[in-house]
Homo-oligomer: A and B are copies of this chain.
Amino acid sequence: MSLLIVGSVALDSVATPEGKTDDALGGSATYFSVAARLFGPPVNVVAVVGEDFPKRHIEMLLGKGVNIDGLQIAPGKTFRWAGVYDESFGDPATLDTQLNVFEHFSPKLPEQYCCSSFVFLGNIDPALQGVVVDQVKSPILIAADTMNFWIEGKLTELKKLIARVDLLVINALEVRMLSGEKGLLAGARKVLSMGPKILVIKRGEFGSMLVTKDELFVLPAYPIEAVKDPTGAGDSFAGGFMGYLASRGKVNFEELKRALVAGTVVASFNVEGFSLERLISVTSEDIRGRMEHFRKITEFTVPQCFGG
């Protein structure tokens, strides 16, 4: 079933202890759509680039089978971001942000996108996320990403948006900010009471969790040999998660668990290279292989009895 992603397409200049890029392909919609296509569903992108956006990136997206009918090309320059990661590969320091054409981005869905069954609202102004929800007809699942910036600056709009989505992707700090609860589980329950039926809680290099009213799933991070560039980890995770779900066409807790595993594995490949260089070369077979390995290194049994 078809999957809609609304987000950013950017040119990133990133420095990490492992190297650097200049004006390399980036943006949430970019990572998301390439990640999602690994699972096969039709992927529809709504985003905006400037007239300077390199044609080779357009060709790459088309080559991956991404539908870019909704990619606006606006007068001006493409959104640019520059950041640097230190040895810990934690949150990057932003050196420069040039919104350019992204500043006046207004998501407009092409007619044929309005029936997308799965919808992902990338991390943009919650008011704009709402504009997308207005345009989709009877989707199976609407998911949204957000960040501390919107919790601090647009809380009213964000709460309105949250009440309209089925699934929210959020990190542990944002759960605390949004709920006012110290405990993660108590905070998650409070966020669930605001509307979404499903929470995906990201904990970066330490894994992720899935929380619903009645169920819980915790997953460690997939242990990789060497991180090169964490940029796009969250977006490729979300793309793998939603791409998996859209390819299955149904949403239940078993499939949500597998989607979390799929997203984690896709992100683990993505951070092994700069920009999208590693993600572009990954195959569905690589993904399945690593998901199987992930199962092998996390599964255990509990003996029937022990104790004295």
Contacts and interface: CB of A to CB of B under 8 A. Distances in A.
A288 B301 contact: no
Interface in A258-273: 258, 260-261
A288 B308 contact: no
Contact of A284 (B39, B87, B248, B306): B306
A244 interface: yes
A285 B184 CA distance: 26
A211 to B, nearest CB: 9
Nearest to A222: B218
B295 A248 contact: no
A247 interface: yes
A306 B248 contact: yes
A297 interface: yes
Interface string A223-244: 1111100000000000000001
Interface of A: 17, 37-41, 65, 87, 182-186, 203, 206-207, 209, 216-227, 244, 247-248, 254, 257-258, 260-261, 284-285, 287-288, 291-292, 294-295, 297-303, 305-308
A39 B308 contact: yes
Nearest to A284: B307
A302 B297 contact: no
Contact of A288 (B87, B220, B294, B306): B306
Given A306-B40, A307-B287, A207 B220 contact: yes
Contacts of A65: 308
A216 B297 contact: yes
Contacts of A37: 308
The 6 closest A-B pairs by CB, nearest first: A40-B308, A284-B307, A206-B206, A218-B220, A220-B220, A291-B302
Given A218-B298, A258-B301, A301-B295, A185 B306 contact: no
Given A288-B305, A295-B302, A220 B223 contact: no
A118 to B, nearest CB: 14
Nearest to A261: B300
A261 B220 contact: no
Contacts of A220: 206-207, 218-220
A244 B260 CA distance: 31
A302 B248 CA distance: 13
Nearest to A259: B300
B217 A298 contact: yes
Contact of A185 (B225, B244, B257, B303): B225
A287 B221 CA distance: 25
A303 B258 contact: yes
B184 A306 contact: no
Contact of A307 (B38, B183, B254, B305): B38
